[in-house]
Amino acid sequence: MTRSEEYVLLAVWRLQGNAYTLSILSQVSEVTGYDWQLGAIYVPLERLVRKRYLRRSKSGPTGERGGRSKFLYELTPLGHKALREIRAVHDTAWAGLPKIPLKSEDGA
Amino acid sequence: MTQPTSRPPRSGEWLLRLFGRRENREEALGDLEEFYLRDLWQVGSRRARFRYFRRLIGICVFRSELSLSWRSAMFKNYLVTASRHMRRQKGYAFINIAGLTIGLTAFCLIAMWMRHEFSFDRFHVKAPFIYRVGEKRHFPQQIRTGYRTPGPLSEALRADYPEIARSARVAWTGERVIRFGDQVHYERDILCVDPEFLEMFTFPLIEGEAGAALAGPYTVVVTEGTAAKYFGTDNPLGQTLNLDNRFDFTVTGVVEDVPANSHLRFDMLVPFDIVQKLGWITDAWDFSMALTYIELMRGVDPQELEEKIAGAVRTHDFETNIELFLLPLTRIHLYANLEDPDSPNRVQYVVVFFLVGLLILGMACINFMNLATALAETRCKEIGLRKVVGADRGHIVRQFLSESVLVALMGLAMSPLLIQLLLPAVNRIAGESFALTAFADLRLIGLIFAVTLLTGILAGSYPALFLSAFKPSKALKARPTAPFQGVVLRQVLVVIQMSISLVLIIISVVIFRQIDYLRNKDLGFDQEHVVSIPLGISNAENPKIYERFKSELERSPRILTVSGAFTHPTRFGTHAQDVVYNGRRLDEDMPINLTSVTFDFIETLQIEVIEGRSFSSEYGTERGNLIVNQRFEEVLGMESAVDRVISIGETYRGRVVGVMRDFHLEAVSGELIGPLALFLDPNINYIFVRLAPGDVTAALNVMKESWKEVAPHLPFAYSFLDEDFGRLYREVENLGAGLKYLTLLAGFIACLGMLGLASFAARKHTKEIGVRKIMGASVSGLILYLGGGFVRLVLVANLFAWPLAWWLGHDWLQRFPYRVNLSLWVFLSAGLIVLIATLMTVSYQILKAARVDPVKSLRFE
């Protein structure tokens, strides 16, 4: 799983039922601290759907989208499992390490 | 916030449809719209729109970036494979590239010429609003179309129809003597125009003012070139040019030289009234003498106006038979033949050449297809391997298409060289002066590139589909064989190529035979050894000059006879006139030519007199006597016309003293010989001199000397009558010459293709040849065996080509009243030419294969 897929999957989990492209986009941008292109969200989303980590469902037409439908994403059990695994890997990988001094802290 | 701006631009949806992916188009559109609406509140509609498009492009680019990086890597690989393949098969690659170069060169040249043809008169700023008024004259038996209209029409139309903003008449003065100081020249292209001419048409003035330049009497506007010719570097404004020793004109303006793509060509412009002073009738409603151009008010529907003005002449002349019509300025060059409105339009030639160009390009494509499928075996393993490592059919198709497009582009890259080589020939045929810079036009370059790409795709389409169908399991076998040999298809394609070549050859031969026929046809008079000398038109002093010149010349033994005529025989036109005979009017208006000549005309042109006698000074001035031709006699319906008194038109009445054999007026390519009547009159515009056989230069010198004595103020300009007549066939000759070159190119491409196929056949049969030789086959027997296939193809091609060529040739010949027959030998010889060309290209390869030591050929793998 790529980094961007990881972020997107995490964002969907965090948004809990209100995950659609724009909310995912702002969530991911917030977390990473820089602006993401729409296209950069579509690609990992599509891959995750294809890997059956995410389920895509269509809501009814909404006014704020000019009468177009919203596409909502939610985690599948497989997605949950993947997320847990990532978490586990991260935790084990980072476990027991002393804090890495960051440059800004170092200079302070 | 207004309603329309609250929605994002419609084009976004369209762009996304074009470049985005189908799966999430709906989603992306929704997202974009939501963003847009948010932006709309925050930053206003303009910036919202801007951001909308920026995001949209972001989506498209981001998506394609991923697939493009893949594709470009593969594409690079395709190019590498293609160039390796070409390097391994240098001969075949050469045939492909050379064929496509020739085909594309032919197409480029034709496209360049077409662009020029279609650019005619489009440089006028007001071109879309300018129309020429033409007339249809209704006669009981027929309708005659003409582009000249009566003199008063222009004024009347503008006065009667508010839809017309401007109108201007144009008439030619004919050849005139122009003098400036001691410079004297004949000028042919002097136009008499109304003052508004310069405001309607875009002939930019360098000096003078468009509105005022031609307003005064005896003013003249000259082109830059003419100004330089007469005045050198002096200021042309205010200079005086003399016309025919009668009128002095003051230069009031200088225009830029007329562009090559203008149907109106001129060196000088003079006010329209001059026409009247030169003796033409400009106020009669039944005499069509001027071209009438009108400029419409903006927004006027030309069709509605055409309907309105169709009967406009009737309001001024009750007895008229004229119906008016409009012709857009930009269509005049291609769709209207001024000299002969009924003859085929130029646009037909343009279309024919375009089609032939495409055919030649198609032949080059066929070469590519044939070689690619024939050499399929050499690509089997490659394709098999590609498929094994995951290429699907689409990949292979893309690979071969990019390969063929590459070859087409390589062909295009070579063509500028060939174009540069061929340009002089093209310029000679088209009568233009094209340079490579003629291609500096974005639309033309775009067209050429588009056609090149299409050619590549077309050439590669069949091989791509054919090769991509290989099954990897079979393709990777130790000795792969292509699943489908494509032999039949190759043969069909070769037959198509040969048929095209054959048709082109036959048509070219037919055209050349027709030209030959026209040039050598007995015109009814002897056109050789006759010199024609123009005098200024309708000069009062012409008779005097003629008489003195004649008496001077007749003393020389090098000159046989001297005569004169009002019109040049190449321009003997016919005009419909009443013929009254025995007080009875002939039933129909006959187009009759009535021309004045001087004594000895019939003798100088050596026209045979069948009945009665020729004009002779023994009978005095012969005033009121006529000599008619046989056709005239037929029209009268009498056994003999001699001694009959007839009136022609309203003015002329005379007694027939002789009947001469029919001779051709105008070009042989024009109409059938019409009725002609000659009468004597001293007012002439052309002098004809029959030279004694022998030293032509000496005779010309005699004439030059005499001319200096009798008319020192006039230039001595002469031409030979047979050349004058020959010039009439230039258009047909150019058609023939153009087609000849294209035929050669087509033939060359076909030969290249056959060369490739023959060498392929020879290689494929190497082992078979070896076995046959061991079994005792002779070299000649082998050639017959292998070459026989090609001969059979030629025969089949003849079968298709002959009917088509016969039909086309027959159709083309119909436009000539005097024409050659489509004789069988034309077809036979064309077939023979193709057969010989085929055998010559094929036999070398076969001979080479047949003479190889069988031991070697049996080892060949």
Integer CA distances (angstroms), B582 to B578, B628, B641, B646, B660, in order? 13, 16, 12, 7, 22
pTM over 0.90: no
pLDDT value of position B125: 92
Contact B602, B609 (CB under 8 A): yes
**B58 and A37: CB-CB below 8 Å?**
yes
Write out chain B residues lying below 8 Å of A70, CB-based. Answer: 30
**A38 and B55: CB-CB below 8 Å?**
yes
pLDDT value of position B19: 65
Crossing angle of the two packed helices B25-43 and A38-50, in degrees rounded to 10: 150
Write out chain A residues lying below 8 Å of B8, CB-based. Answer: 66
pLDDT value of position B420: 92
**A68 and B26: CB-CB below 8 Å?**
yes
Say whether residue A60 is in contact with chain B using an 8 A CB cutoff: no
A41, closest residue in chain B (CA to CA): B59
Q: Please report how many Cα atoms fall inside a 13 Å half-sphere around the Cα of residue B779, on the Cβ side.
A: 11
pLDDT value of position B21: 64
Distance, in Å, from the CA atom of B830 to the CA atom of B503, rounded to the nearest integer, reads: 9
Q: Please report how many Cα atoms fall inside a 13 Å half-sphere around the Cα of residue B279, on the Cβ side.
A: 8
**B35 and A22: CB-CB below 8 Å?**
yes
**Main-chain dihedrals φ then ψ at residue B292, nearest 5 degrees:** -115, 120
Out of A38, A46, A65, closest to residue B23 by CB: A46
Distance, in Å, from the CA atom of B765 to the CA atom of B454, rounded to the nearest integer, reads: 35
A62, closest residue in chain B (CA to CA): B30
Distance, in Å, from the CA atom of B226 to the CA atom of B228, rounded to the nearest integer, reads: 5
pLDDT value of position B574: 56
Distance, in Å, from the CA atom of B763 to the CA atom of B856, rounded to the nearest integer, reads: 13
Contacts of B312 by beta carbon, 8 Å cutoff, 6+ apart = B153, B156, B157, B160, B161, B324
ipTM: 0.80
CB atoms within 10 A of CB B415: 23
**B34 and A40: CB-CB below 8 Å?**
no
Out of B7, B23, B55, closest to residue A66 by CB: B7
**Main-chain dihedrals φ then ψ at residue B293, nearest 5 degrees:** -110, 140
Mind listing the domains of chain A with CATH numbers?
Answer: 3-87 (1.10.10.10)
Contact B399, B78 (CB under 8 A): yes
A4, A42, A50, A59: best mutation site toward chain B, by most B Cβ within 10 Å? A42
pLDDT one-digit tens code per residue, B106-162? 999 999 999 999 999 999 999 999 999 998 888 776 777 888 889 899 999 999 999
Task: Report mean pLDDT in 10-residue bins for chain B, 861 residues.
Answer: 60 72 74 84 84 81 59 80 87 90 94 92 92 86 81 91 93 85 86 91 88 86 93 90 88 92 92 85 84 92 91 86 90 77 75 92 91 81 84 85 91 93 89 84 91 92 84 70 68 90 92 86 83 77 87 86 85 63 60 82 87 83 83 78 77 84 71 80 87 87 88 83 82 86 91 86 81 84 82 91 93 85 89 89 81 76 58
Query: A with B: how many residue pairs have Cβ under 8 Å apart?
Result: 58
Structure tokens, B456: 């590549």
β-partners of residue B226 are none
Write out chain B residues lying below 8 Å of A64, CB-based. Answer: 34, 37
Integer CA distances (angstroms), B332 to B77, B264, B296, B555, B594, in order? 53, 10, 17, 51, 30
Say whether residue B31 is in contact with chain A using an 8 A CB cutoff: yes
Where in B535-685 does DSSP place strands (E)? 559-565, 575-577, 579-581, 584-585, 590-597, 609-612, 625-629, 645-648, 652-660, 676-680
Is residue B283 classed as helix, strand or coil in its secondary structure?
A: coil
Q: Give the DSSP H/E element, type plus range, for residue B419.
A: helix B393-430
